[in-house]
Chains A and B, each alone.
Chain A
């Protein structure tokens, strides 16, 4: 009279393989995170671009600029770089309040970068490889171009927006949002930003000297550096380093489009330059 039938399987629990659900959900979540960080990064960068330069200078003073202290032993070099920077600022029509400060770093690193508050850091390693003033102006023009288009603060804004979002999702209590995103050297510029700065640099070069000779030499320095680092590889392989070569090509393209002269007399560096480095 009273009976319990055998319970059929698969009614209260699904037969679907758990790994299938796992993979679908995980890829969905990853996709969501990527899209969210793209949108947030874009809006963060856009919003940061609205920050007035005077506020950016204040943000810059929050960071420990002293860890990148200038070499006080080379006042002549610093002064020379500063003078060039001022000249370029004028050529690029920088707004009045956008003050560029050049810092000379006595280190072998082959590098130069622009950061918050219009601070430029130029390393001895790179200056040693610069052969003439035209190339140096291209370098400084590029970095000042970053400042002109507010790239450092935009890059910081993007980093902050993304890291706030990530710490909200993962629930981590790591509150070093500004601290980590804002490390002066960590500011990464996008390819578009680099191109914008390159265009600004070449146009500055043409404004100051009437031709663009010596500009491409800057990328050849980086190209050479990459070749030297990749020992054991054939140099031909790296002579067409896509990034550097495309930047050189872009220079010629721009020159042709604007009818700028690609040849011209190079301005030598001042006599004290190599001695004082």
Chain B
């Protein structure tokens, strides 16, 4: 009974705080994406051949932890299967944030373009599966700087 009450409190807190943080984050991502849209990031491996460019590795990474509500819903999902939509928003935010950070770095080098952009993710919560998932998303690419 006590256990149940604690879980209920954690889930409720996780829901309200997690949702508030998520809304705030998505709003900020959309705003910054509009600003940094002038610096395109491409997945292509072939850089433009017209002119001299200096090349530079740029990267951005973000570490995200889950809230209790999302973990709880995901745990229930384990019973029935299907897409874990609570994690989808979380990872979507993480990827976009990582790209934004990478672009920010490229901007500091006065880059014009970022090529060969790739993502890496790694689970840093360890092997113990009862722990909340903590995931790193890392975006990196080659920034082209006009010399």
Contact = CB atoms under 8 A, between A and B. Distances in A.
Interface of A: 1-4, 6-7, 9, 12-14, 16, 18-19, 21-22, 25-26, 28-29, 32
B48 A1 contact: yes
A32 B79 contact: yes
Interface of B: 15, 19, 30, 33-34, 37, 40-42, 48, 69-70, 72-73, 76-77, 79-80, 83, 85-86, 88-89, 91-92, 95-96, 113
Given A12-B95, A19-B15, A22-B72, 14 more contacts: A2-B113, A4-B40, A7-B33, A9-B30, A12-B88, A12-B92, A13-B92, A14-B83, A21-B85, A25-B79, A26-B76, A28-B79, A28-B80, A29-B79
B88 A7 contact: no
A16 to B, nearest CB: 6
A28 B41 CA distance: 44
Contact of B48 (A2, A16, A25, A26): A2
B37 A22 contact: no
Contact of B40 (A3, A6, A29): A3
Given A2-B48, A6-B37, A13 B80 contact: no
A219 B80 CA distance: 48
Contacts of B30: 9
A86 B73 CA distance: 58
A7 B95 CA distance: 12
7 contacts: A12-B88, A14-B85, A18-B69, A22-B15, A22-B69, A22-B72, A28-B76
Contacts, number: 56
A19 B70 CA distance: 10
A90 to B, nearest CB: 46
A25 B37 contact: no
Nearest to B90: A13
Contacts of B77: 25
A12 B88 CA distance: 7
Q: Which of A9, A22, A26 has the most CB of B within 10 A?
A: A22
B45 to A, nearest CB: 14
Q: Which 7 pairs between the two chains have the least Cβ-Cβ distance?
A: A25-B76, A13-B89, A12-B92, A14-B85, A2-B40, A4-B40, A13-B92
A4 to B, nearest CB: 4
A241 B64 CA distance: 59
B80 A25 contact: yes
Nearest to B79: A29
A44 B49 CA distance: 76
Given A4-B37, A4-B41, A13 B76 contact: no
Nearest to A33: B79
B16 to A, nearest CB: 11
B34 A6 contact: yes
A1 to B, nearest CB: 7
Contacts of B91: 12
A13 B88 contact: yes
Nearest to A28: B80
B59 to A, nearest CB: 18
Contact of B19 (A2, A6, A16, A18): A18
A204 B145 CA distance: 101
A24 B91 CA distance: 23
A16 B89 CA distance: 11
A2 B143 CA distance: 13
A18 B33 contact: no
B73 A21 contact: yes
Contacts of B92: 12-13
